[in-house]
Each structure stands twice: as C-alpha cells, then as structure tokens.
Chain A
Amino acid sequence: MNPETTETESAFLPKSELQSLITLLADDGYQVVGPTIDQEAIVYDEITSVDQLPRGWTDRQEAAKYRLERRDDDALFGFVVGPHSWKKYLFPPLTTVASAQKTESGWQMQTPEPDTTKYAFLGVRACELAAIAIQDRVFTGGPYVDPVYNARRTNAFIIAVNCAQAASTCFCTSMNTGPKCSSGFDLALTELDDGFEVESGSDAGTAILDRLTTQLLTAEHTKRAAAARQRAVDQQTKQLNTDGIRDLLLGNLDHSRWKDVGDICLGCTNCTMVCPTCFCSSVEEVSDLANENVERQRHWDSCFNLSFSSMSHGTTRNTIASRYRQWLTHKLGSWEDQFGTSGCVGCGRCITWCPVGIDLTEEVAAIRGDTAAATSGGAA
C-alpha cells in the first residue's frame, strides 16, 4: 500500500507543473483519474490534461440538493466530493470474478488473471483516504482477500488534495477523518493561487516529486496553505455525536424512529451507491445462449434491495424501515465490531444524494433523544 515514510519531502509546485505530474504518471503507465464535470456534477473519470479539471467551479450541497456554481477564482480543486468515490476503481461496479466452460470432461472453472491496471488518483480528499483505508480492511484485512481490490489497490498511486472549504453536508471533523490529509497518500497537495504546497507521503511519492520541477517551500507558502486548510475546518457546520454510538444504535433496535424514517425512505439505494465505504455486492451468472460459456459477474448491490436478504422461506428484512435500520446500525455500529473503526467517514454524500433528504446525523440525534437537532429540519 502506501507506507508512511519517516522522512517526508515538501516543496512548492508551480501551477504549470501540475500537467507535468499528470504526463509523467501517464508515461509511467498509470491511468490518471481525476475530477471532471459531467452531467452537471463533478465526477471522477480518466483524464490526460489539467484542462479537464473543474477549473473555477465549486459545488453547493444540501440534503437532496447538489448543484455547481462558478467561483470567482480559477481554483482547480475548489469543491469537495461528488457522487463518485474511488471505490469506482478499486471495487469496480461490474467485474468478472470467475468463469466456466462446458468441456467434454465436464465443467471447467477459472478465475481471471490479476488486473495489472495502474491507476493514479488525482484529488483524493481526506475523507476518501479514510474510506480507502476502511475498504482496505474490508477487502484485504480478513481471512479472504478480494483479488480484484487487492490488485487495483497495490498498483494505485494516490495524490491527495487538502480541502480548502467544506460543504454544509460535510462532517469529517466529527469522524476524525479530516479535513487534513495526514496519511495514506503518495503525494498530498494544498492548492494556493499560484501553485501547490506538495508533501510526499511515501517512497513512491518522493520518487515522483524528485522528477518534477519544484521550488523551495517558503514560510509564506506554508502560512497560506495552513490558512486554506483551516477554512475547511471553520466552514464545517454539520456534526455527528459519536459518543457510544455503537451501543446507542444496537441498543435501540425497537426505537420508533426506524418506522418514521422507513416511511420516508424510498429504498432507492442512492446512499449506498455514493457511500465510499459501502461494499455490498452480488455475483450473477452471465452465459452465452448455449449455456456453455459462463461468466460470474460481481456487481454492486445494496442492503436496501428487497432481494438482498431473501431466502427460500421468506425475506428477513421485508420492510424499508428494517433495511434502513440495517444500513445505519451497520455503518455506525456493527462495523466497529467487524473492522475496528466506524464505517462512516463524514463525507456527507448520503445526505446530498438522498432524494428525500434523509440526514443520518439527524437520525442518530433523534434516537439519542436530542430533539433540538432533529426538529431543526434539513441541512442549512
């Protein structure tokens, strides 16, 4: 992965050098992925040029609302997070996990060769670094290692970006996942008007940095970078009280709030699709017409789907309320038992992309009995 090195290198990278970074990585065989605008949102896609970044754009997010707005500057990373997360590449939405052929001597099964694709992720936020670390534990930390995730993850080069602002839906400070990027990256950038404070976080990062034309980092640079990062802290308004949250939720499985949120929730699965840590999937058969060549394809699934908990004698979670309860008690509760940390990184995506504006910080507050937060309505 990306081990923390004892010596980190810091420098100032002029804005014009960012393209050199992208080009250098591409020449080294990396597929560079970064933020870009598509369908009126900032999403992650393969890029080759700095011109594809959302220069001068920012995002305005609230519960059930997302829109882009022009900034009054030319910031390349002047936004937070959109509907995509890096799991799109590390835990692909659709991938083949095995295949089978009917031969004369019977069915023969294989698993695919390890994926050798090298991705360079440009623009990974602190919450996303935390999410990647969480999915590392899920997919590679247990008795069974997922080969697809493992291959993609081993080959990934991570360029983090420190947030200089916060959306109204952000609450990474409550989850201790940001906004400052502290580990888990190869390089970390803080955007200034004329360039970036760049910090290496690994040997691989240092090696790339050494090949770029950088300048000495001055005290002035450092001060401006710190001020930029502080804006992200100061702008956060949303909070989640995580005191004893695991016991709070698992100890209130009969709380009436579950029914209330179940009446509003559509079970549309948006939250699980945009959540950077959600990992549920299903494997299905895709065969040719003769059923002699079959692919086993894994695709993203969601605990909000009715069939997710179905068995021959019935469906365990056959109400939306019970499925919402599963999602939240897992994300903020039993995840701790399973993986040693919370499953939530405070990115706020589930709040933004919920079509009916359900805010999990309010759900928790309601169960905690903190009616003040619950009755204040949706996010500001």
Chain B
Amino acid sequence: MTQMEACTASLDPWLAHTVRIVDITDEIADVATYHLEFVESVIGKSFTFRPGQFNMLYLPGVGEAAISISSDPAQRGTLDHTVRVAGNVTGELARAGDGATFGLRGPFGSAWPIEEALDGDVVIVTGGIGLAPLRPAIYELLNRKNEFRQLTLLYGARNPFGMLYTDEYDGWRNRGLDVNTTVDRASPGWDGNVGVVPQLLDRMPLSDPANTTVMCCGPEVMMWYTARSALGRGIPPERIWISLERNMNCAIGLCGHCQFGPTFVCKDGPVLRYDRVASLLRVEGF
C-alpha cells in the first residue's frame, strides 16, 4: 500500500495530472496502446505502479475510464495503456493524436501476486484484451526470472486477428516464457491450436501443482472455467488469482458503483484471490 501513497492519489484523490500522448500503437481492431508521459516530469519521476494496477484516464468534458497499465513497471519510459473502444471516453480517446493532453489519476487497485508466486511455477491464463493487464506481470516475472520456476502463458482469442502483442511472443519465449496461443475459431491459414484456454490448462504438464500460481484475466465465464480446470489439476484455490471488472466511477472506493458483495473492485481488487470471491461469481445479477 505504500507504493500507492507515493503518488498523490491518496493525498488528493480527485486530482488528475496532465499527461501527453507520446505515441500510439494500433493493436487489433478497435484497440490501441497509448504511450503516455506526464507533462510535469517531477510527477513522472515519482510515479510507480505494480502489475495489475490501473489508472483513471480523464478526458475533460467526456469523463473517466478505468484502464489497466500495460507497460513494464521497471522501465522509466512511457506509461502504456492498451485501450479498446467501448464507450464515450474510450471513443473520444481514439480520436486523439500524438501530443494530445488529458488527465490521469492513479495508480489504483490491487496487484498480481508476484511475491506470493516466488519459488514456484506460474501459469498466466488470459484471453483477448485480458493480456493487457497481465503484460506488466509478464515483464516483471521475466525481469526476475531466477526467482520463479516454470513460466507459462496460455492465451486465447476469438480468432488469430484478436491477439495482442504478437510481435513480442518470440522475445518472451527467448527470455523463458512458454507462450501458448489458441483461438476459438480458426481462420484460413491458421495452423495453431484451436480451442479454449481451460482446455490448454487441463492438459499442460504441471510438475508441482501445489506450488503453482495461476494469474487469470478475461471474460468472467473464461475465468470461472479456468479456475475449475486449475482446481481439477490440483492447484490450491488460494493460488488462483483473477481480475474482475465492474463499473468504476471514483476508483477510490467511495462512489459505490464497483461493489461486488463486500468487495470494492477498485480498491480491494481488481486482482482478487479466487477463493475469496468464488461463491458470488455465479450468482446471477449480483
């Protein structure tokens, strides 16, 4: 929690800092990564975040959107956010170009359990745009490769055109991440795996399930069945972590929007231990 206090968020929770778009990378359809820098360099120098945390990107006059940070926490260059157009704020952002300025509040939220996964295997299971909030975790795990054992990525998409960051996979493989991709639907020319990620988790070799940590982000149904597969493989429920998404308005646990039972997804989450929320996940409309 002290890293959160290092930024101004807890001191002045409604104050947004000005950021500028340095570059925009078009990813897949309707998805782009915005490479941002703080206009005030003193803010940029003191801004730190942990993998899994998010910022509120503020487009004045339009509103805020909660976007996970998708860059490497250790690199001091730009702060990257991979954004899919899904509403007014993200739609307005998609019309912005290099040099445009807007506001940023953060970082907020809980982080992927890097420390809890030490000395064990890590399986990252994700799909579609869910890879974005896990990419910082991948970077950190690879930066600290010696502190973990087998690192595996299971990544699913609707089709081959729905995969993020494809040009990074070989680099990750070279650094020691076993990258496995799959699609729901093959397109002509796809010779990779066809099927859903829980199926990959069902059959991958696990040398030590009791010491394996699963970090999962994607549609709730996907996360539910991934957890089911993980439990079936003998991975303990307290080592399965998911990331939830809810309507977020304040990001500081005060507006009430993002509640999921007792959990404020913005403040207690978005990264949550599976066993702490499992009983509520399948309650319709909760």
A contact set with B: CB distance below 8 Å: 97-98, 100, 102, 105-111, 138-139, 142-147, 250, 253-254, 279-285, 287, 291, 294, 296, 298, 301, 303, 308-313, 316-319, 321-322, 325-326, 329-330, 334, 337-338
Question: Which residues of chain A have C-beta atoms less than 8 A from B259's C-beta?
Answer: 303, 326, 330, 334
Residue among B9, B14, B62, B257 making CB contact with A98, cutoff 8 Å: B14
A280 to chain B, nearest CB (A): 4
Question: Which residues of chain B have C-beta atoms less than 8 A from A318's C-beta?
Answer: 285
Q: Known interface pairs A308-B247, A334-B262. Does A107 touch B255 (Cβ–Cβ under 8 Å)?
A: no
Instruction: Evaluate contact between B1 and A143: CB separation under 8 angstroms.
Output: yes
B-side interface residues, number (CB < 8 Å)? 45
A336 to chain B, nearest CB (A): 8
Instruction: Evaluate contact between A147 and B61: CB separation under 8 angstroms.
Output: no
Instruction: Evaluate contact between B285 and A322: CB separation under 8 angstroms.
Output: yes
Chain A residue at minimum C-beta to C-beta distance from B245? A311
The interface bits of chain B over 55-75 (1 if a CB of A lies within 8 angstroms of the residue's CB, else 0) are: 000101111100000000000
Question: Which residues of chain A have C-beta atoms less than 8 A from B29's C-beta?
Answer: none
Residue among A143, A316, A319 making CB contact with B246, cutoff 8 Å: A316
Question: Which residues of chain B have C-beta atoms less than 8 A from A329's C-beta?
Answer: 261
Q: Is B232 among interface residues, defined by CB-CB distance under 8 A?
A: no
Smallest CB-CB A-B distances: 9 pairs: A106-B101, A322-B285, A280-B256, A337-B262, A312-B86, A144-B252, A334-B262, A100-B60, A287-B61
Chain B residue at minimum C-beta to C-beta distance from A98? B14
Instruction: Evaluate contact between A285 and B63: CB separation under 8 angstroms.
Output: yes
Question: Which residues of chain B have C-beta atoms less than 8 A from A109's C-beta?
Answer: 15-18, 58, 60, 103
Starting from the known contacts A109-B16, A111-B15, A145-B13, 6 additional A-B residue pairs (CB-CB under 8 Å) come to: A98-B14, A109-B58, A110-B15, A144-B13, A287-B60, A291-B60
B172 to chain A, nearest CB (A): 29
Question: Which residues of chain A have C-beta atoms less than 8 A from B62's C-beta?
Answer: 285
A139 to chain B, nearest CB (A): 7
Instruction: Evaluate contact between B9 and A144: CB separation under 8 angstroms.
Output: yes
Question: Which residues of chain B have C-beta atoms less than 8 A from A108's C-beta?
Answer: 18
B246 to chain A, nearest CB (A): 7
Instruction: Evaluate contact between A147 and B4: CB separation under 8 angstroms.
Output: no
Question: Which residues of chain B have C-beta atoms less than 8 A from A284's C-beta?
Answer: 63
Q: Known interface pairs A109-B15, A111-B15, A283-B249. Does A143 touch B255 (Cβ–Cβ under 8 Å)?
A: no
Question: Which residues of chain B have C-beta atoms less than 8 A from A287's C-beta?
Answer: 60-61
Instruction: Evaluate contact between A334 and B246: CB separation under 8 angstroms.
Output: no
Instruction: Evaluate contact between A280 and B257: CB separation under 8 angstroms.
Output: yes
Specify the main secondary structure of chain A where it touches its partner.
Answer: mixed
B242 to chain A, nearest CB (A): 16
CA distance A326 to B1 in the complex (A): 29
Question: Which residues of chain A have C-beta atoms less than 8 A from B262's C-beta?
Answer: 334, 337-338
Question: Which residues of chain B have C-beta atoms less than 8 A from A334's C-beta?
Answer: 259, 261-262
B58 to chain A, nearest CB (A): 7
Instruction: Evaluate contact between B247 and A310: CB separation under 8 angstroms.
Output: yes
Question: Which residues of chain A have C-beta atoms less than 8 A from B12's C-beta?
Answer: 111, 147
Chain B residue at minimum C-beta to C-beta distance from A319? B285
Chain A residue at minimum C-beta to C-beta distance from B20? A106
Instruction: Evaluate contact between A254 and B283: CB separation under 8 angstroms.
Output: yes
Q: Is B6 among interface residues, defined by CB-CB distance under 8 A?
A: no
CA distance A348 to B103 in the complex (A): 43
Residue among A107, A309, A310, A311 making CB contact with B101, cutoff 8 Å: A107
Instruction: Evaluate contact between A144 and B10: CB separation under 8 angstroms.
Output: yes
Q: Is B87 among interface residues, defined by CB-CB distance under 8 A?
A: yes
Instruction: Evaluate contact between B87 and A312: CB separation under 8 angstroms.
Output: yes
Q: List 28 A-B contacts (CB under 8 A).
A: A98-B15, A100-B16, A100-B103, A106-B18, A107-B102, A109-B58, A109-B60, A110-B15, A143-B253, A143-B267, A145-B10, A253-B283, A253-B286, A281-B254, A283-B255, A284-B63, A285-B62, A298-B255, A309-B247, A311-B246, A312-B86, A312-B87, A317-B286, A319-B285, A322-B285, A326-B286, A334-B259, A337-B261
The interface bits of chain B over 223-251 (1 if a CB of A lies within 8 angstroms of the residue's CB, else 0) are: 00000000000000000000001110110
Chain B residue at minimum C-beta to C-beta distance from A278? B256
Chain B residue at minimum C-beta to C-beta distance from A282? B249
Q: Known interface pairs A143-B267, A282-B255, A308-B257. Does A111 touch B63 (Cβ–Cβ under 8 Å)?
A: no
Docked complex: B254-286 residues within 8 A CB-CB of A: 254-257, 259, 261-262, 264, 267, 280, 283-286
CA distance A51 to B102 in the complex (A): 52
Question: Which residues of chain A have C-beta atoms less than 8 A from B179's C-beta?
Answer: none
Chain A residue at minimum C-beta to C-beta distance from B258? A309
B272 to chain A, nearest CB (A): 14
Instruction: Evaluate contact between A283 and B15: CB separation under 8 angstroms.
Output: no
CA distance A111 to B16 in the complex (A): 9
